[in-house]
């Protein structure tokens, strides 16, 4: 057992490898031992490829900034030849790939040792991770009766449980930030098109989806983003160029910022008292650091955005199922997909091409509305979720219709009313692990910035981390 493993973030772990204090093989052994000890209670790590990981070490790892660090990739996207995927679905189980995706190539170039995948809900839909293909729900290390979030829930659980110090995720409606909030981690959704989508896609969900990472420290995310940023060959559009980069940004204090405080949802509804407390506590911290914090809320049409988001993702779900069936040369069979995906197909059949394009137009209009708000403000401060992490089963895909699952009372958009706004606008946003409930559940605080202002946002995140460190907090049930 490597006793310091729990205390190292990915950057610190790589430094230990660089000075010869520990080897990549020893770190892989430790990570595998932790999977054996901790994963049975969590069901977060799947499709392990130990032989491939050992072969990568034997072949000589790239001399990247995270050389030798054990790593996991989400079981949705991040296509890789050596890592078959279920993509959260029985229909897509054991999918193989003819070439590596651009994002995986860039992750691999950091020198990490990827040895498996992490669970996701079917189609990446929802704020919980309970896909049938994995034989049961993925559970939160802080309380196994609660969800670690979704859709990057397996990555969140694996990092929170100290199986790995960092893991890949993706975010189309909060899917990095929701697990970050639920698991006490840092998670950032970059500006639209900051990271590559190719060659398997030009964009995800009309540009709303993007890759990302679940990490314990801001600097780990900064290193990974710098390593992976930039469009791939043939990308349909690019993000505004970075300045010196994320790592350089966190090395210097950010400028003093104008921060809008919103302690309700973006439509003015009340949020859970603990979440409101978290927001106000963060506001006081930011004021103590010299930032100006005042109440304000965007006047954008958030309800219209949510309806448009639901149409786009419903059509995307239907398309992915159709393409899978064409590849298999057969019709949909009972048990292939879960109820939410099956309902999404029916829902999408009622959406015309004109309806779809109108939904994309509404998303674009929402981005302009949010951009106007950020003409007066540098940062919007909210909770990440409107409630503490949900109980297992609340957002399972069985017995639910797609539209109600997203828009119904007490369902996804009531529970997560903030995150998708910034997938729609394309703006960068983060969840910071700044608050825990009295019974020990993490609650994230959400910060969003103007389009392209990734470096300002991550610099502010690093300043907050220095002022209120969270790295030593760990879930007791996940310890050996």
Give residue-wise pLDDT tens across range 284-307.
999 999 999 999 999 999 999 999
Confirm if 17 and 23 have CB atoms less than 8 A apart: yes
Q: What is the pLDDT of residue 479?
A: 42
Residue whose structure tokens are 């779900």: 317
Tens of pLDDT, residue by residue over 430-445, are 999 999 999 999 999 9
**Position 221 pLDDT exceeds 90:** yes
Confidence bin at 392 (pLDDT 50/70/90): very high
Confirm if 220 and 227 have CB atoms less than 8 A apart: no
Reading the block at residue 355, the tokens are 């309806």
Tens of pLDDT, residue by residue over 55-91, are 999 999 999 999 999 999 999 999 999 999 999 999 9
How long, in residues, is the chain? 480
d(CA 451, CA 449): 7
Q: Of the listed 74, 189, 362, 400, which one is catalytic?
A: 74
Neighbours of 323 (CB within 10 A): 11
Q: Of the listed 120, 170, 175, 431, which one is catalytic?
A: 175
**Position 158 pLDDT exceeds 80:** yes
Q: What is the mean pLDDT of residues 366-395?
A: 98
Q: What is the mean pLDDT of residues 311-330?
A: 98
Write down the domain spans for the chain.
3-478
Q: Has 320 been annotated as catalytic?
A: no
Q: Has 217 been annotated as catalytic?
A: no
Mean pLDDT, the chain, integer: 97
Whether domain 3-478 has CATH 3.40.50.720: no
Q: What is the mean pLDDT of residues 163-178?
A: 98
Q: What is the pLDDT of residue 476?
A: 76
Q: What is the pLDDT of residue 300?
A: 98
Confirm if 284 and 259 have CB atoms less than 8 A apart: no
Confirm if 237 and 269 have CB atoms less than 8 A apart: no
**Position 316 pLDDT exceeds 70:** yes
Reading the block at residue 130, the tokens are 């309970």
- Determine the distance from the C-alpha atom of residue 400 to the mean position of all C-alpha atoms in its chain, rounded to a whole number: 24
Q: What is the pLDDT of residue 1?
A: 85
Q: What is the pLDDT of residue 477?
A: 53
d(CA 474, CA 467): 19
Q: Of the listed 85, 89, 120, 151, which one is catalytic?
A: 151
Give every CB contact of residue 334 below 8 A, 6+ residues apart in sequence: none
Confirm if 200 and 98 have CB atoms less than 8 A apart: no
Neighbours of 303 (CB within 10 A): 13
Among candidate residues 189, 194, 201, 190, the one with its CA nearest the CA of residue 229: 194
- Determine the distance from the C-alpha atom of residue 347 to the mean position of all C-alpha atoms in its chain, rounded to a whole number: 26
Q: Has 281 been annotated as catalytic?
A: no
- pTM greater than the 0.85 cutoff: yes
Alpha-carbon torsion, ordered 76, 77, 80, 81, to 10 deg: 80
Neighbours of 471 (CB within 10 A): 15
Tens of pLDDT, residue by residue over 245-267, are 999 999 999 999 999 999 999 99
Which residues sit opposite 80 in a β-bridge? Answer: 83
Q: What is the pLDDT of residue 478?
A: 45
d(CA 39, CA 32): 10
Neighbours of 174 (CB within 10 A): 32
């Amino acid at each position: 057992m490597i006793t310091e493993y729990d205390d190292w973030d990915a950057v610190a772990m790589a430094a230990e490898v660089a000075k010869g204090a520990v080897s990549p093989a020893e770190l892989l052994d430790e990570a595998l031992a932790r999977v054996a000890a901790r994963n049975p209670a969590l069901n977060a790590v799947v499709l392990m490829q130990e032989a491939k990981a050992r072969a990568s070490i034997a072949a000589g790892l790239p001399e990247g900034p995270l050389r030798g660090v054990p790593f996991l990739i989400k079981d949705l996207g991040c296509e890789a030849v050596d890592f078959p995927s279920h993509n959260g679905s029985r229909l897509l189980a054991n999918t193989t790939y003819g070439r590596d995706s651009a994002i995986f190539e860039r992750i691999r170039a950091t020198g990490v040792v990827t040895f498996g995948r992490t669970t996701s809900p079917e189609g990446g839909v929802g704020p919980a991770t309970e896909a049938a293909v994995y034989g049961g729900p993925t559970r939160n290390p802080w309380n196994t009766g609660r969800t670690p979030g979704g859709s990057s829930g397996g990555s969140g659980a694996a990092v929170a449980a100290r199986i790995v110090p960092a893991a890949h995720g993706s975010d189309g409606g909060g899917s990095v930030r929701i697990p970050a909030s639920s698991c006490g981690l840092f998670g950032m959704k970059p500006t639209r098109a900051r990271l590559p989508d190719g060659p398997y896609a030009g964009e995800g969900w009309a540009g709303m989806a993007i890759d990302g990472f679940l990490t314990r420290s801001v600097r780990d995310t900064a290193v990974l983003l710098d390593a992976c940023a930039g469009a791939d060959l043939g990308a349909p559009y690019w993000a505004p160029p970075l300045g010196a980069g994320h790592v350089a940004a966190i090395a210097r204090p950010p400028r003093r910022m104008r921060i809008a405080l919103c302690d309700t949802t973006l439509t003015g509804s009340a949020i859970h008292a603990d979440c409101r407390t978290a927001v106000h506590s963060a506001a006081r911290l930011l004021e103590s650091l010299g930032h100006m914090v005042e109440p304000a809320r965007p006047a954008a049409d958030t309800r219209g955005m949510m309806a448009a988001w639901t149409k786009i993702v419903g059509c995307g779900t239907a398309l992915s199922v159709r393409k899978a069936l064409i590849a298999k040369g057969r019709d949909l069979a009972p048990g292939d997909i879960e109820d939410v995906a099956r309902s999404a197909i029916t829902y999408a059949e009622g959406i015309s091409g004109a309806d779809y394009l109108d939904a994309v137009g509404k998303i674009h209009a929402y981005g302009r509305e949010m951009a106007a708000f950020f003409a007066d403000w540098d940062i919007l401060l909210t909770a990440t979720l409107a409630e503490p992490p949900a109980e297992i089963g609340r957002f399972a895909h069985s017995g639910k219709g797609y539209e109600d699952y997203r828009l119904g009372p007490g369902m996804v958009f009531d529970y997560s009313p903030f995150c998708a706004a910034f997938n729609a606008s394309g703006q960068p946003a983060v969840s910071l692990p700044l608050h825990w409930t009295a019974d020990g559940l993490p609650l994230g605080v959400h910060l969003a910035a103007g389009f392209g202002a990734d470096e300002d946002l991550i610099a502010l995140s690093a300043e907050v981390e220095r002022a209120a460190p969270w790295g030593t907090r760990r879930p007791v049930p996940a310890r050996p």
